[in-house]
Amino acid sequence: MSQAAERVYVARLAGTTVFDPLGDAVGRVRDVVLLMRRGNAPVAVGLVVEVPGRRRVFLPLTRVTSIAPGQVICTGVLNLRRFKARTSETLAIAELLERSVNIKNGRVPAFIEDLAIEPARDGTWEVRKLYVRKAERRKGVLGFSRRGEAVVVGLDEVTGVWKRDELQGAQLVIQSFADHKPADLAAALMEMSPSRSAEIAAALDDERLADVLEELPEEDQIELLGTLRSDRAADVLEAMDPDDAADLLGDLPDDQAQALLELMEPDDADQVRQLLHYEDDTAGGLMTTEPVIVSPETSVATCLAMVRKEKLPPALASMVFVVRPPTETPTGRYIGLVHIQRLLREAPHEPVGSYTDAAIEPLEAGDSLQEVSRRMAAYDILAMPVVDPAHRLLGAVSIDDVLDHLLPSDWREHIDDDDEEAAS
């Protein structure tokens, strides 16, 4: 490798554009993969690169021809298989930053804020220097403050690099994903070691963790949920969409699922139990019990305000469902649905019941996945109502839930040939 910089600080490398030999950008660096060798300096073996589509892939350092400020140049074709850290691998940014260490001279506690990799004689890149901030006790403050002096120390000047402890925070990782979608953080957790992903999950608030769980494959959902205390797991399940919570609980052993349901708030648990009665590949199993539901007297302005809620999925925000009271599922008699596009053309004070689309026939809870997808395609619609034999609204099936069941179970990991060719 031709190195334009003899020492590269990992945190500063994050976000750097990766170019191919022709000068075309292929992605951005998100992390550095290390092999931790007890008694020897950790060796950097590759970069985690985010390519278009927010997919994170592995770029071996043997394929990197140059690292310079503002650019990394690679050679050859990127392998677009999603990166997943092996047991022996450590992610420098996700797992080492904020780790607590001790500076040997005086055993001063400190926290890693950055680390430097340098080329060794054999052509590998080794971690030689750490940028740490000394911890210090401040008057009136319990424990240590992280506002001490920042210094660069040699790897041989500190202890504790190989041992993660309770002092290592997860806020740096969480903060770096603050402006990203939950799917991006979910993808990052899939790359981390199980212990580190559990630490990140423990530090997330219930709402954010619920959003992230909904974006994970089933096996990863179960594994991450299993790292939480039972009462915390129940709180997170309450924060999830009822259909997603039901899907997750349906994959757990019956006794574990029932124990978690008992810990949930009764109203939330009842919604999930209702959904668990249906087969996964039916309209009842696919639906959510929380679409936007209104009575016919509700004004156009109120409906438009209701679909502006940030957490409402786009498919469900495309329409409101009109029913006779009560408006909680199962509702009073279902009247019809109204497209938001139609309401944008009407006077704000008009009642919404005047604008229902009579052409859309509702689904029944037992309708198959094939019937649901056929009807949605025929109507060219993003969500469909589901009613019981008494014509009460039970919920709605949205297009994203249909796609989740139509696509292969490993679709988050799937890479087609077109993606491979695009990256080359």
* Stated length of the chain: 424
Sorting pLDDT into bands at 50, 70 and 90, what band is 2? very low
Sorting pLDDT into bands at 50, 70 and 90, what band is 124? confident
Most confident of 176-190, 315-329, 394-408: 315-329
Give the DSSP letter of residue 152. E
Sorting pLDDT into bands at 50, 70 and 90, what band is 89? confident
Average pLDDT in the 28-47 region? Answer: 89
Angle in degrees, 0-180, between the axes of helices 218-225 and 242-250, rounded to the nearest 10: 90
What average pLDDT does the chain have? 87
Predicted pLDDT of residue 141 = 47
Please provide the CATH number assigned to the domain covering 293-406: 3.10.580.10
Q: Residue 412 above 70 pLDDT?
A: no
CATH for 171-277 (3.40.50.720, 1.10.10.10, 1.25.60.10, 3.20.20.140): 1.25.60.10
Q: Residue 183 above 60 pLDDT?
A: yes
pLDDT (tens digit per residue) in 131-169 = 998 887 555 444 555 567 889 999 889 888 877 654 456
Query: Could you tell me the strand order of the sheet in which 383-387 lies?
Result: 363-364, 383-387, 393-398
Predicted pLDDT of residue 423 = 42
Is residue 165 a contact partner of residue 195, using CB atoms and an 8 Å limit? no
* Euclidean distance between CA atoms 246 and 240, whole angstroms: 9
CA 17 to chain centre: 23
Q: Residue 421 above 90 pLDDT?
A: no
By C-alpha distance, which of 179, 187, 174 is closest to 54? 187
* Euclidean distance between CA atoms 177 and 28, whole angstroms: 15
Q: Which is more confident, 354 or 418?
A: 354
Is residue 146 a contact partner of residue 133, using CB atoms and an 8 Å limit? yes
Give the DSSP letter of residue 220. H
Sorting pLDDT into bands at 50, 70 and 90, what band is 418? very low
244: tokens are 């997603």
CATH 3.90.1580.10 fits 8-89, yes or no: no
Is residue 354 a contact partner of residue 343, using CB atoms and an 8 Å limit? no
Domain range list for the chain: 8-89, 94-159, 171-277, 293-406
The CB density around residue 103, as the number of other CB atoms within 10 Å, is 19
Sorting pLDDT into bands at 50, 70 and 90, what band is 408? low
Average pLDDT in the 32-36 region? Answer: 91
